[in-house]
Structure 1
């Protein structure tokens, strides 16, 4: 979206001071300015509400970011919630080339193929997939939690997995958006971690039907989101951002979006072919290689996971039994 005229970099988020209700805030460094209806910011000052009038409120947000007046709070004194409440969450599966190759090879080896034969067949499978359409599925907002909240691991799930993802945040509504128009519909980006119970996702009873994506991916707290929404102009080229995921300090994922099979514009365009995209909707763009299957290690109570994207921020979540 055309908001590059702002001179003062800022991010947006949603916070609580522990006693009061959630509030939208403008973030600069380690300070947060609560946003209220002041005439320029019309209506309830939620982050989604700001996105619904994005072009109109942008100059005011820039002005506030430059201000040194009172009212700023220390970020460390606040609880950071998911930065916004989306109406829709649309997720891209298997959208990183090395990740898809990794999964396709592992599946063929598990089915009895030799390693080299499985690798060659998987490479052909990836190239065929790249000539088609993105694989998109629906996530539930009820699965979201804050960037520092506990991730609750349900009893019975033996393979809870991680997936750091760059999430595009829609700012301008649209239907049947072309790839050439798509980037103008993105207000900014945030960080998501798509926690997935693999043994539930592809359980034998549902494998023939494509798996159980509801149960596997939409448990409460299975989508840590945030810490902030960073407007797109402040990030520059999104394909140069670095995505990392650590487990108890060990790096498990480390990649840039340059490895995407379908770029961000294509994902937005294809999503809009199926539904009307609305301000605040999240488009999760896929996760790079380095999931639990590669490491033969899945999440357990007591683990600490950190998902980070340069320029946006870091999540730090403890894993606990549900």
Structure 2
């Protein structure tokens, strides 16, 4: 199944052959049993409309939480080198993540402003799992069974701000606080099962800027599976329906890596007016126009 959230009322919609079967409820309320919801959407929709006419929102516009992991080894190596360090051995012992900002969620076609004060603005090509049923202290298999579906996640990153604040010894803060794009679809795991490979799926993840292809890799390259990520996230706490869990960046899926490997002239940082497209096979594409940064408000 492919689901969307659309329109000013944030309705859930089941997409069937490019026709949206809309329901009055938000998708968040349906995650526990999408099969039953799909039956209602097919037999008694609140409305039907062409997918092309739907005003797409993020599938979960206001998630209870957003955790973003670092689960692709190539990105871990390249990004660490770009910041002048090696991969911490802890990365190979357990999944690692930081909490992102649920208030900064953007839809799949929304504009994205440069973060205030940033001259090195970047995208990150990721996949996210959305939790469908709650659970605590889960095993990886139990955790994977609680995934309602997958969507594209673009983690917009102010690399200069990130570098400066990381020296204080805490995780990403304002460097990752400005925007996270989700969408366009929430795709249920059964839609991807025939491409299962490695710790993920043999599906291409890629980006382009102003129509020029920019790196990417395969979802199957995950070092830590989503089952392992969610199990770790559930340890000593509770996963809730609608929680978003990002994979972290696929190898060469950001300008930080590409500019470090090939130079900033070849891969310049994002500027207002740039058009960024992030695609994942079977999950669709996120398309965003970069807009100017808000002014930096002084602290004194």
TM-score normalised by the chain length of structure 1: 0.80
2:11 corresponds to which residue? 23
- In the alignment, the residues of structure 2 paired with residue 299 and residue 73 of structure 1 have an alpha-carbon distance, to the nearest angstrom, of 35
Choose the corresponding residue for 2:143, options 163, 182, 185: 182
Choose the corresponding residue for 1:73, options 12, 30, 49: 49
Choose the corresponding residue for 1:315, options 271, 276, 286: 286
Contact kept? 2:30, 2:37, Cα under 8 Å: no
- In the alignment, the residues of structure 1 paired with residue 29 and residue 45 of structure 2 have an alpha-carbon distance, to the nearest angstrom, of 24
Whether 1:12 aligns to 2:23 is no
Contact kept? 1:91, 1:138, Cα under 8 Å: yes
Cα deviation 1:7-35 (Å, max 9, x = unaligned): xxx3111111xxx5331111123221111
Contact kept? 1:130, 1:262, Cα under 8 Å: no
- In the alignment, the residues of structure 1 paired with residue 202 and residue 122 of structure 2 have an alpha-carbon distance, to the nearest angstrom, of 25
SS of the aligned residue for 2:232 comes to: helix
Contact kept? 1:253, 1:288, Cα under 8 Å: no
Matched length: 278
Aligned-pair distance for 1:63? Answer: 5.9
Choose the corresponding residue for 1:195, options 127, 145, 156: 156
- Structure-2 change in CA distance of 1:180 and 1:60 (3 Å): closer
Aligned-pair distance for 1:70? Answer: 9.1
Contact kept? 2:21, 2:45, Cα under 8 Å: no
- In the alignment, the residues of structure 1 paired with residue 118 and residue 236 of structure 2 have an alpha-carbon distance, to the nearest angstrom, of 32
Aligned-pair distance for 1:210? Answer: 3.5
Whether 1:215 aligns to 2:174 is yes
Contact kept? 1:202, 1:210, Cα under 8 Å: no
Choose the corresponding residue for 1:33, options 6, 21, 28: 21
**Superposition pairs of residues 217-256 of structure 1, within 5 angstroms:** 217-219=176-178, 222-236=179-193, 237=196, 238-256=200-218
What 5-or-longer segments of structure 2 have no aligned partner?
294-300
RMSD of aligned C-alpha atoms? 2.1
Aligned-pair distance for 1:141? Answer: 1.2
SS of the aligned residue for 2:184 comes to: coil
- In the alignment, the residues of structure 2 paired with residue 180 and residue 11 of structure 1 have an alpha-carbon distance, to the nearest angstrom, of 23
Q: Which has the higher strand share?
A: 2
- Structure-2 change in CA distance of 1:177 and 1:156 (3 Å): same
Contact kept? 2:4, 2:186, Cα under 8 Å: yes
2:130 corresponds to which residue? 169
Aligned-pair distance for 1:83? Answer: 0.8
Contact kept? 1:130, 1:261, Cα under 8 Å: no
TM-score normalised by the chain length of structure 2: 0.86
1:267 corresponds to which residue? 229
- In the alignment, the residues of structure 2 paired with residue 304 and residue 73 of structure 1 have an alpha-carbon distance, to the nearest angstrom, of 28
Contact kept? 2:22, 2:46, Cα under 8 Å: no
What 5-or-longer segments of structure 1 have no aligned partner?
1-9, 37-44, 112-121
Cα deviation 1:151-210 (Å, max 9, x = unaligned): 11134211111111110011110010011322111111011100010111120x651423
